[in-house]
A and B are shown apart, each in its own frame.
Chain A
Amino acid sequence: MSGAFRIPGAGRFSQAKTARFSFDGQSYAGIEGDTLASALLANGVHLVGRSFKYHRPRGILSAGAEEPNALVEIRRDAARKTPNVRATVQELYDGLDAQSQNRWPSLSFDLGAVSDIASPLLSAGFYYKTFMWPKAAWKTLYEPKIRAAAGLGVSPDQPDPDHYSSRYAHCDVLVLGGGAAGIAAALAAAETGVRVILADEQAEFGGSLRFESGAKIDGQDGFAWAQAAVAKLAAMDNVRVLSRTTAFGYYAQNFIGLVERVSEHLRTPGHDLARERLWQVRAKRVVLASGAIERHMVFADNDRPGIMLAGAARTYLNHYGVAVGRNVGVYTANDSAYAAAIDLKKAGVNVAAIVDLRDNPTGPVIDEARALGIEINFGRAVIRAGGKLRVSSMTVQPKNGGGERTIAVDAILMSAGWTPSVHLFSQSRGKVAFNDETKRFVPGTYAQDCVSVGACNGTDGLSATVDEAYAAGVRAAKDAGAKAAKSSKPKVDASESWSRGMLGAAPGAGPDTTVKAFVDFQNDVTAKDIRQAVHEGMRSIEHVKRFTTNGMATDQGKTSNMHGLAIAAEVLGKPIPEVGLTTFRAPYTPVTFGAIVSHARGPLFDPTRRTAIHPWAEAQGAVFEDVGQWKRAWYFPKAGEDMHAAVDRECVAVRKTAGLFDASTLGKIEVVGPDAAKFMELLYTNPWEKLEPGRCRYGIMLREDGFIYDDGVVGRLAPDRFHVTTTTGGAPRVMNHMEDYLQTEFPHLNVWLTSITEQWAVIAVQGPKSRDIIAPLLEGIDMSDEALPHMSVREGKICGVPTRLFRMSFTGERGFEVNVPADYGQAVWEALWAEGQKHGAAAYGTEAMHVLRAEKGYIIVGQDTDGTVTPNDAGLDWAVGKKKPDFVGIRGLTRPDLVAKGRKQLVGLKTRDPKVVLEEGAQIVEDPKQAIPMKMIGHVTSSYWSENCGRSIALALVAGGRDRMGETLYVPMPNGVIEVEVTGMVFFDETGGRLNG
């Protein structure tokens, strides 16, 4: 027997296998098919957690996703500890290990529960009031203590070892919710042949048919009909049936996010199974069949373990075969709780009394309860519950006051009525409407192509629900393009029906009391808190919500929102619709980050780009740095070298003999067509029409506002063909910028743009010996200074493969950039490397490249410029064509602020002490003795130790910099002020003779 409270013959799992599990270290037996909650209840365990704020003992309230109390931690192994799992959703498997949360030292004796006694401190708005002062208390008290005491589960402290998957799907009709309504709608749509997806959050389809013992459809028990219908649907080619799948978000244009729990219910999921699967579904039509959620009664101490929703108690009995007590009381304002009492009574459980707030209700369930001999009290209220770790009694009083009577019970089943689940409808931006007669919000105005059916639409009764849902399924299929439908509408033979109920606080929790009558269990919000919020000036329900935190826990107020609203409305003296309903937001229930992230983690989080020469650099022991998505060789340390030693050696080698550098990441765009030169004239500041084929030019690209956007060397291969290079990081945006102008502003130009970044590997060979290294491998190109002067380009062959050979220099040395098709990149590199070895050449990385270019005062766009620097500011006025009638940025350059005096200009800085290397980003001042805050006149943009200069060098943007040559300025740092001299930007070979050296 799996638990003393399992009723023989009741429930649907009588043949099931035993599953052993543990809760807080105690071992129990359940059965396969149980949830953790039903298995605990079968063993008589109601106390499962402590509340968020007051640490009050809490039990199991519900039998579904709305559960606010029964949150536990499930442990599979050290890395698989999932907090805040709803015990009512977690399926039992053999070996399941669960722990209660938010209690210390134990669940039944919790020291934190003193906050229940000290609760006046923690009433509504306590976050805003208590935590205001003194400031120091934030560090010593509020953060560490209150945060530790108020809380739920503990996050796992290891990386998630599970994997998650992700699917996109399209369908004609998506049905969300697999109760009677959803199944009927799916059947109707599926029979027309359109593509249907039916999803339900539960392990088994059926919705409220799980507990409605009175339902009969097509001659069968309702739940059995549901299983048969879903089996039929699952067998159809045009239907996908997803159980354990929660639709958590309704986004634009019928785009729905769902999470399927693939292996959470398995003992040993195995590595080939994802833990969860994210479904992103685009549907032509959506049918919302999300049902309704029962509300609790708001009365004093209504949170004692053993007090639960009547529908939940009925589910535990009829579906799981579990009695939630032996002597139960019922407190209701609604017929549906009678059905629970009747089912329990018939199963042999004593029903001590039904307390009904209504005056003289009539109906078949009331007659049946009476006929079974159950005591019924009309017009009375339960004003308090007795017991602490488990309810022991209920105290009853006429609702308008009078004598009290206490009845011993071990469970109380309560029902204040049912709230339509309009969450997804509301997320779709639909507007709800308040039905004054039934006191509920139902879908009003639709914003998307969807329709609500059944309980979530405020439709009462199984018969009306199935009729409505079936018709909606037919209509949705037709709207999605279905031709004709065969009709086989399910016939409802017997049905239960109820509506109404009550909203807000019941008598005994009414005005002028300070009792703890909980509205929101998960956030510990009482009726008194909501009244207090209104008394303290909150008028909008959105303010009341934030002030009290009502409905702001992870359950998003599924059971509490309507009660909270009604209490606020009552105190405000306004009708409910005027106070308004808070907005429902995704996710409907919590979604793991794992499901959202799916495969996009670790190496798959962002693509990594590697050059053709990467494997060689890796084999040489290069240290890499990330530049955008690229991995670039940063430096090549030899044994015993640190970064500085390696960089110094590489820099000296380039100037002494030669260096090889992988420049493949450079952005490259081919600009081709009869109007290519015209296009270049418009996109760059420089003149291009007269540039001869075979020659190169350093080009500057501006935005319309006149600021530098990108730069690079451009080679003209032919009158109608330019090989444009861009910065490594700038390639995509430069391409976008060019395409934008070509397509929209200059569409009359006959030009094609092609990104060729990844087609060409680029090997820079720089230094006095560079020509000697390349020449032996080259065919068809004369490398003499006369035939191939600085800033020219030729096409030929190297190592037998095509090359575009640029003579250009980013080091100030005689230099070449060998472009070869990327597939030959490494082979050509290795051939050049072998030649280089004969001359003592070194491979150098990006750090040496930076130092070498700074020694020559060559700027790096994005480092020495920041989007507010003009060509003139950067000392590059010579690159702006003065006679050009137009180019992008021409007008921006003449804006008053851009020609004003005193702009920051790029200059060189030499520290007074040559050994001191400035910090990049450091601020520069004129007078270091001035009062703080000092007037900052510029900042350091580039700064390095230069082994070739034997001193530190720096570039900086300084206000009026070029007029300050020779001036002394200061860089205040935490360890003292550094004195610097303003200089020109060229620190090495000022005459430039080495370009031909």
Chain B
Amino acid sequence: MLLIRCPYCEEERPELEFRNAGEAHIARSANMAGESDDDFEKFFFIRSNPKGIIYERWRHMHGCARFFNAVRDTVTDKFVMTYKAGEPKPTKLPKNSNEVVAK
């Protein structure tokens, strides 16, 4: 079971308290009704599904109930960082704490 840091509670809590809520940074258009078919397809259907770093939305369902964003590595499952909803997509990631460390 993973530990996930809720950026609102400022605490690491067990995965059980959280729910994944899909890919992050897919903004809903302010002019939704005027979107082209292609743009709507990109907005609603197309997801990145990368091997490696993914930006996701999570919700601290059984805690503060807030939605927030997370950077996760799909290879190791581990979280690189989490940040509040509405904050910009981080351009510089902290050194991946999940890198395999030689001892």
Contacts and interface: CB of A to CB of B under 8 A. Distances in A.
Contacts of A255: 1
B67 interface: yes
Contacts of A892: 40, 44
Contact of A890 (B14, B33, B101): B33
Interface in A878-928: 885-886, 890-892, 894-896
B88 interface: no
Given A446-B101, A745-B28, A885 B33 contact: yes
Given A451-B103, A736-B59, A894-B33, 15 more contacts: A252-B78, A253-B1, A429-B76, A446-B100, A705-B44, A743-B85, A744-B67, A745-B28, A886-B32, A890-B33, A891-B33, A891-B35, A891-B40, A892-B40, A895-B40
B37 interface: yes
A429 B59 CA distance: 27
Interface in B22-54: 28, 32-33, 35, 37, 40, 43-44
A236 to B, nearest CB: 27
Contacts of B85: 743-744, 747
A812 to B, nearest CB: 35
Given A743-B67, A745-B28, A895 B37 contact: yes
Contacts of B59: 736, 739-740
A743 B100 contact: no
A823 interface: no
B101 A743 contact: no
Contacts, number: 62
Contacts of A745: 28
Nearest to A450: B103
A92 B67 CA distance: 55
A896 B66 contact: no
A370 B13 CA distance: 62
Contact of A445 (B14, B28, B43, B100): B100
B44 A447 contact: no
A747 B100 contact: no
B9 interface: no
Interface string A721-739: 0000000000000001001
Tell which of A252, A280, A705, A747 has the most Cβ of chain B within 10 Å. A252
Given A253-B3, A255-B1, A446-B100, A739 B65 contact: yes
Contacts of B2: 252-253
A736 B59 CA distance: 9
Interface string A95-116: 0000000000000000000000
A447 B3 CA distance: 16
Contacts of B57: 744
B1 A446 contact: no
A367 interface: no
A810 B100 CA distance: 60
Interface residues of A, number: 29
Given A743-B67, A744-B86, A886-B32, A251 B1 contact: yes
Given A446-B100, A739-B67, A744-B67, A896 B1 contact: no
B102 interface: yes
A468 to B, nearest CB: 13
B77 interface: yes
Interface in A580-598: none
A592 B44 CA distance: 44
Interface string A411-435: 0000000000000000001010000
A786 B100 CA distance: 74
Nearest to A743: B67
A896 B21 CA distance: 27
A255 B40 CA distance: 42
Nearest to B86: A747
B21 A740 contact: yes
Interface string A645-674: 000000000000000000000000000000
Nearest to A253: B3
Contact of B44 (A253, A704, A744): A704
Nearest to B99: A447
Contacts of A885: 33
A740 B67 contact: yes
Interface in A737-768: 739-740, 743-745, 747
Contacts of B14: 282
Contacts of B33: 885-886, 890-891, 894
A892 B41 CA distance: 10
Contacts of A896: 37
Contacts of A280: 1
Contacts of A431: 100
B8 to A, nearest CB: 10
28 contacts: A252-B1, A252-B2, A253-B1, A253-B2, A253-B3, A255-B1, A282-B14, A431-B100, A445-B103, A446-B101, A446-B102, A447-B100, A447-B101, A451-B103, A704-B28, A736-B59, A740-B59, A740-B67, A743-B66, A743-B85, A744-B86, A747-B85, A747-B86, A890-B32, A890-B33, A891-B32, A891-B35, A894-B33
Tell which of B32, B85, B102 has the most Cβ of chain A within 10 Å. B32
Contacts of B40: 891-892, 895
A431 B102 CA distance: 10
Interface in A415-469: 429, 431, 445-447, 451
Contacts of A429: 76
Nearest to B65: A739
Contacts of B100: 431, 445-447
Contact of B103 (A252, A446, A744): A446
A-B pairs, top 4 by smallest CB distance, nearest first, are: A743-B67, A446-B103, A745-B28, A891-B32
Interface in A68-122: none
A658 B66 CA distance: 45
Interface string A243-267: 0000000011101000000000000
Contacts of B21: 740
Nearest to A254: B3
Contacts of B28: 704, 745
Tell which of B37, B57, B103 has the most Cβ of chain A within 10 Å. B103
B63 to A, nearest CB: 13
A705 B44 CA distance: 7
Contacts of B67: 739-740, 743-744
Contacts of A252: 1-2, 77-78
B68 to A, nearest CB: 9
Interface in B52-85: 57, 59, 65-67, 76-78, 85
Contacts of A704: 28, 43-44
A216 B94 CA distance: 50
B39 to A, nearest CB: 9
Contacts of B65: 739
A451 B86 CA distance: 40
Contacts of A890: 32-33
A744 B28 CA distance: 10
A451 B65 CA distance: 37
A170 B65 CA distance: 25
Contacts of B102: 445-446
Nearest to A444: B102
A896 B100 CA distance: 49
Contacts of A740: 21, 59, 67
Contacts of B32: 886, 890-891
A751 to B, nearest CB: 15
A895 B86 CA distance: 29
A661 B76 CA distance: 52
Contacts of A894: 33
Tell which of A253, A447, A736 has the most Cβ of chain B within 10 Å. A253
Contacts of A251: 1
A705 B32 CA distance: 12
B36 to A, nearest CB: 10
Nearest to A753: B65
A467 B39 CA distance: 65
B65 to A, nearest CB: 7
A251 B76 CA distance: 12
